[in-house]
Amino acid sequence: MAPSQRRVLVIGGSFSGLCVARDMSTHFLVTIVDAKEFFEYTPGVLRAYVKPKHFDALSFNLHPVIESKMGCKFIWGEVLKLNGDDKTAEIKPMFTNKNEIIDFDYCIICCGCNFNPNAESMWFPTVHEVTRQVSEWKEFDERYIEGRRRHIWAEWQKIKKQEDKNAKYLIIGAGFIGVEWVTELEHFFPKLDLAILDFLPQCLGPLPQYAKSYCVKYMDKHGIKQHYNQKYAKTDEFYEGLGYGKGVRPDREFSCIGVKASNYFMPEETLSKVGPGGGGWILMDMTLAATKADGTKWSVDSKGYARVYAVGDCNFGCVPSSDKDKKPGEWPIPPIPKISYPGEEEAIVALKNVEKTDHLVYGSKTTDCFGGKLEISEMHWPWGAGMFATSLGPDKACFVMGANWEKNSGYTCVYGSICAVQKEFIEQSKTNECRMGICGRLIWHFVHHTPLHLWGGGPRFGY
């Protein structure tokens, strides 16, 4: 079989999924499966809810980009079951009631995650069958780009009507999502009575003190009430303690407290019992291959090489040490934040491992171009996982580099209006890259294709 005939199944048209398709399309038969018809720049979607026309700058239809520009195949449908032994996937295509089975030689799972462990989230489209059945907004089919647009527009109208009545909003969770959302609301709907709550002593969790202080001062200046060291509870005493008065509740509450897994298609044996949102994350080893709970690879070929990889927000996000006394910093892979940069970095490692496996199993190549032994690469804690850009409305922001799993780690490098421009530039150039725009690709290509690594945990000369 010629190398060009090997089939790669990519689950998810996310940052990571499009990164995999871009790099592998010239050497493999790549098929991307996604339950929605469009790409959405998730880090910028909060702005769309307060400025609906901004959604057009964050999204595009996947089919023309994947099929016409990348030369890959796009299936609009939901993966219901992945079989690692047979190397098959059961898919429910969008426009048929009959499920289909497709096979693959390699599979890279890039399906991301969802938000709000306790309820449905506005920040991610409701596209999975199990969530659509119990959705709070069944009238909008967010598998369609127009359905997503209509939902955003309806939410904007609802907020606008409540602003006219000086409604009280409570944002639960003062991480970067909560801080961004409350400041976006304050800027575009200044008549709202806004408050933000967190159980930690300050906002922004483990980020450096200067970034926390900068955001606290901004919210103080703009009249946003802040409540820290407060555990959320739906009791009269709790709301009275926040100053709402006896028997008074907020007109609306927004939960911005965390993430949850949406790996509904994976067998139980491959999913974690613990982790953010109660577990359900795909277990992986150092090479990002999907594993069982005992650490053995879940799907392998006759030579023992992995055939299914999990990258980005869908995986467990770390490889803990077998020594339970070791701290996270001493683990083989410490906890990685569920943001776009490490997801794309993991995608590069996984696709390179697929290419190496293909050479070792089907070809005669056993060394790289420098004469070194061809070996499967291991993942590491990527230095870019410590970069966070937090918007404070459209005119202010702060940018942190070097953060990690330690409290107050990292450095606040840029802040103010310059950082707001920087965040806008990142948003537009990344969206352009994902839709195969030449400008975005020229700007971002070498971020994850760096031929020489001078710092970080990666190999000195690429993967």
**Whether pLDDT at 278 is above 60:** yes
**For domain 129-259, is the CATH number 3.20.10.10?**
no
Q: Which CATH class is domain 3-117+260-378?
A: alpha beta
Q: CB neighbours of 137 closer than 8 A, spacing ≥ 6?
A: 120, 126, 151, 154
What pTM value is reported for the model? 0.95
pLDDT of residue 1: 42
Interval 82-132: pLDDT, tens: 999 999 999 999 999 899 999 999 999 999 999 988 888 999 999 999 999
**Whether pLDDT at 325 is above 60:** yes
Mean per-residue pLDDT over the chain, rounded: 94
pLDDT of residue 386: 92
Interval 206-233: pLDDT, tens: 899 999 999 999 999 999 999 999 999 9
Question: What confidence category does residue 459 fall into, taking pLDDT thresholds of 50, 70 and 90?
Answer: confident
Residue showing tokens 């530039």: 425
Which residues belong to CATH 3.50.50.60 in the chain? Answer: 3-117+260-378, 129-259
pLDDT of residue 4: 56
**Whether pLDDT at 331 is above 70:** yes
Interval 284-322: pLDDT, tens: 999 999 999 999 999 999 999 999 999 999 999 999 998
pLDDT of residue 367: 83
What is the β-pairing status of strands 7-11 and 29-34? parallel
CB 405 within 8 A of CB 329: yes
Interval 167-209: pLDDT, tens: 999 999 999 999 999 999 999 999 999 999 999 999 998 899 9
Q: Tell me the C-alpha distance between 295 and 297, whole Å.
A: 7
Interval 25-72: pLDDT, tens: 999 999 999 999 999 999 999 999 999 999 999 999 999 999 999 999
Q: Tell me the C-alpha distance between 174 and 406, whole Å.
A: 18
Interval 358-386: pLDDT, tens: 999 998 788 877 778 889 999 999 988 99
Q: Tell me the C-alpha distance between 334 and 329, whole Å.
A: 6
Mean pLDDT on 239-265: 93
pLDDT of residue 250: 96
**Whether pLDDT at 3 is above 80:** no
